[in-house]
Every structure is written in C-alpha cells, then in structure tokens.
Amino acid sequence: MQSILPLPTQPVKPGTSTGQAFWPGTAERDHTGKTIDSYSPADGQLIARVHLSTRADYDRVIQTAQAAFAEWRQVPAPRRGDIVRQMGDQFRRYKRDLGTLVSYEMGKSLQEGLGEVQEIIDICDFAVGQSRQLYGLSMHSERPAHRMLEQWHPLGIVGIISAFNFPVAVWSWNAMLAWVCGDVCVWKPSEKTPLTALACQQIIGDVLRNNDVPEGVSCLVTGGRDAGEWLARDPRVALVSATGSTRMGKAVAETVAGRLGKSLLELGGNNAIIVSDHADLDMAIPAIVFGAVGTAGQRCTTTRRLIVQESIYDDVKNRLKNAYAQLRIGNPLDESFHVGPLIDKQAVAAYQATVREIRELGGRFVVEPGVLDGLGFESGCYVRPCIAEAENEWPVVQRETFAPILYLLSYTTLDDAIAQQNGVPQGLSSSIFTLNMREAERFLSMVGSDCGIANVNIGTSGAEIGGAFGGEKETGGGRESGSDAWKAYMRRQTNTINYGTTMPLAQGITFEL
C-alpha cells in the first residue's frame, strides 16, 4: 500500500525515538524480541511488526511524562490550544493517507476511515475553542468581605487505553482535550492496530518539535493486557480513560479505584432502534442498515436490536431483506463495497458461535449468516450481515456481540418498546423513528430511554463532536468529546478569599481567644 505518511520504512521498534512523541531511547532499551504482528483483515497481509514495550520502557515513559507535565501545565491554555490547532492542520494534510491506513489495518470502509480522521480534525477544532473556555465560577460568601470562587487545574498524566474499532479517533477525543487542559498523555493503543497509533505520533511530531514542547507530553506504549494493567495500577497516572469491553472496563475500574485514582470508561453497547407505526420508513431503513452493518457491526454504537411496532413488523422485515440483498461485501479500500471484514479470525469465531446459539434458542434468520471465502476473501475475516427474529430476554440478545448481527423484535405499546429498549445491561445509544411528537418526547423523557444517547429520527451511530459521548449502566458512565467533558481531565478547586480586616467564621460560629 503506497502512502506518504511520515512512517518508518523498516519494521517499527518502539526503542526508536519519534521526536517529541516519546519513546524510550534506543541505547537504553532492553529489547526482548517480543513483537506485535499487525495483519490487515482486508487481505491477511502482514503490515508491520512492532516491538512490545517492556516494563523498563514503561517506567521511562512515565518518568519522562512526569517531567514534561511540570513544564506543560505552565504553558498558557490558549497557547496549548494553538499547538492543538497546528496538529489539526497536520491531520488535514495527512487525512487521506491516515484514513487509508486506518481502513487497511482495522478493516473498516475507506469512507469510515476518512471519517475517523475527520473526527480527529473536528476535536482539534473543538479543543482550540475550549482552551479559552476553561471556566470556573464565582459565588457569594455568607461572610462579609469574603469572595468565593472555583477554578480548574490540570490533573497530570492521563493514560489512554483505546480499542481497535476506532484506532485513532477515540485517542484524539481524550488527548486533544487533555492537552489543552494542561495534562500529558500516555497512550496504550489496541494491540490489534498498533501502526495507526505510531502514524499519529509521527504526524504530530513536527508540531511538537517546532513549538519546543517538552518531550513526554505525548507518549506511546505498546502491549496487551499487561501494559493496560501498568497504567491502571500506577499511582503516577492521575486518570485512566479506557475504551473497550465491559469486562475490561470493570477490571480497570476496580484497579484504579483501589488506589483512589480517576477513571473514565467507555464500554459496551447493546443499542436499539424503536420503529413506530408513525415512522417514515424511507428514512428509517437506511439508518437501520448503516447502524447494523457499518464497520461490520464493530462499533460500540452499532444497532443490535430493532424493536418494531407489530402492525408494521412484516413491512419493515421485507424492506430490510431487500436492503440487505443489495449490500456489497469486500475490500474496504474499494469504495464500491458497503461492508468490510471483521478485525480477525477470533471475531469470526465469535460470530459463528453466536449464530449457533441463536439457532439453538429457536431464532429464525430473516437474512442468513455465513462466512465468506474464495477470491477476495482470502483473509478469512469476511462474514455476511444477518438478521434474526429473536426475543429480548434471550441471553444472546442481552450480550454485545461485535459483529453484524441484528435482532428483530416486535412491540405492542410504546411503553412495551421502551421497556425492551431499557431491558439490557448496557446503556449507550438508542433511537426512535416516529413523526408523533408525543412518542418522541416520551422517549426522551425521564421515563423513556435510559441510555446516555437518545436520538429521534436518526440512527444509533454517528455521534458529533459537540455533544458529550458516553453511556450508563455497564457502558461505564463516562463522557468524552464535547459539552463539558473537559472537566474529566481537570481537578476542581474551591477558593475563599478574605479581603477584610476581621476573621468571621462560617455558619455564624464564634471562637474567642
């Protein structure tokens, strides 16, 4: 794959400095010979071999980040914002190339890969504005000649654990905001997509060097579960932001809480769309299909359950069968295809196991599943998006399967539909299609969707940068990206100033000496 990305042309060794995007020095590094092999699910080819960070590497990274924080936090926030602005310009320059690499290493369609890089650009733009809006509050004191206020200070080191399905965007949601807030970042990317992380570090390297940013503001460690555990257990890491499965998130939360650290969790989703008999189906069907098959069903916001009013159930089912028949599956770099591969053969095995479980429970497939092979599918990672008629309470429906499997359910009343929507452990994204104002408002009310995201007449995928992203229940409760999500990366401090000549105490207490 040809690219003008500023990447090393030889197998990547984390012991090699990438400029101010810090790796431990080559001379100091204890090479163990252990590597991550990054294979493309598109064609099964080996893309790169990346050396794993050792514990010694990790400790050097943390020490360098600590030293950088002491300098970086004193840089004025608008100046930090301007540096992030320059990063956004660099990502604009390399959008096509990085988007292509994302598509090739992860397997999502090229349009989605480009869209993911656009999310980096958008959060850079958002963070630039935010750098001038790190507002506190002023409050009236009950004591005369006193003033109260609150202000926000940077936390320190922010550890970022990202998942394979959005290998660069979710890192940027955290890093850009953390940087304008005055924090430094240590990124542990998914072991399934290490090369895109290295590319991001290379892209911002010139910006950091040209602005004399201290080495250690942007750091990277490679590895699997062990590297994530280092971050979670390390009291030097003030905040751990982790994206991934609910199981992983629970382990991170427990470990970080055990040392009274802070965690920000973006975990599993089991997202539903309710389709009312008042819906515009010409709008609903494309949104359902994209939500269910986009990124081959490997989004945390993927539409996994479709809850349809019984009077239009057969109509919706037939429309979906027709739409799925038109899906084209193939190489994600070819923009004529709608659906690319799953991330690896382990994901394919999980898809197959889920299909078997659906059949054993008596589920009937409206659109048949299958694993594709032959010309163009040599990687063994391509599967057919499928639709199964099921029941909401089935264990298989209650779980999140990272694959293009859509469960078709029916309802009688809106309250029944909302109960099914809410009747799963996860609480990330939700949607209703209706032209009935009362239905829409009830869905958004306190007795409606219990998810962190609730949409009307759009699907469950496609969050915008300006809104806080995250969910409830087993989704973790964290918020990233827009709105006031920046507060997660700072510590709040309340200040009281006595500018008078006496010492009145609060609550009218007197204390005579």
Which tens digit of pLDDT belongs to each residue from 193-242? 999 999 999 999 999 999 999 999 999 999 999 999 999 999 999 999 99
- CATH, range 21-267+477-493: 3.40.605.10
Judged against a pLDDT cut of 60, whether residue 49 lies above it is answered with yes
Distances (CA, A) of 317 to 314, 364, 439: 5, 12, 22
Given the residues 112, 119, 266, 480, select the one marked as catalytic.
Answer: 266
Per-residue pLDDT tens digits for 390-419? 999 999 999 999 999 999 999 999 999 999
Cα separation, 481 vs 464, in Å, equals 9
Sheet of 237-243, strand order: 21-22, 218-220, 184-188, 157-161, 237-243, 262-266
Among residues 75, 73, 37, 30, which one has the least CA distance to residue 53? Answer: 30
Q: Is there a contact between 265 and 476 (Cβ–Cβ < 8 Å)?
A: yes
| pLDDT tens digits for range 82-135 | 999 999 999 999 999 999 999 999 999 999 999 999 999 999 999 999 999 999
Within 8 A by CB and 6+ apart from 8, the residues are 16
The string of pLDDT tens digits covering residues 50-69 is 999 999 999 999 999 999 99
Q: Is 300 a catalytic residue?
A: yes
Give the pLDDT mean for 146-174.
98
CB under 8 Å to 256, separation ≥6 — which residues?
Answer: 232, 240, 262, 263
The H or E element spanning position 365 is strand 364-367
**Quick one: pLDDT band at residue 506, thresholds 50, 70, 90?**
confident
* Active-site residue flag, 266: yes
- Round to whole Å and give the CA distance between 409 and 390: 6
CA 294/CA 289 separation, integer angstroms? 8
512 — pLDDT class (breaks 50, 70, 90): confident
C-alpha triplet 44, 47, 53: angle, nearest 5°: 120
Q: How confident is the model at residue 5 (pLDDT cuts 50, 70, 90)?
A: low
The whole-angstrom distance between residue 208's C-alpha and the CA centroid of its chain comes to 24
Per-residue pLDDT tens for 293-347? 999 999 999 999 999 999 999 999 999 999 999 999 999 999 999 999 999 999 9
CATH superfamily of domain region 271-469? Aldehyde Dehydrogenase; Chain A, domain 2 (3.40.309.10)
Residue 367: closest CA among 306, 321, 313, 323: 321
Location of each CATH 3.40.309.10 domain in the chain: 271-469
Where b means 16+ CB within 10 Å and e means fewer, 64-101 reads bbeebbeebbebebeebbbbbbbbbebbeebbbbbbbb
The predicted model scores a pTM of: 0.93
Q: Which of 185, 219, 300, 451 is flagged as catalytic?
A: 300
CATH 3.40.605.10 spans which residues of the chain?
21-267+477-493
Binning pLDDT at 50, 70 and 90, where does residue 140 land?
Answer: very high
pLDDT for residue 32? 59
Lowest mean pLDDT among 218-222, 284-288, 507-511: 507-511
- Per the structure block, which two tokens stand in for 320? 């979906």
CB-based burial label for 373 (10 Å; 0-12, 13-18, 19+): exposed
pLDDT at 484 > cutoff 60: yes
494 membership: H or E segment, kind and range = strand 490-498
Contact 212, 91 (CB under 8 A): no
pLDDT band for position 16 (cuts 50, 70, 90):
very low
pLDDT at site 193: 97
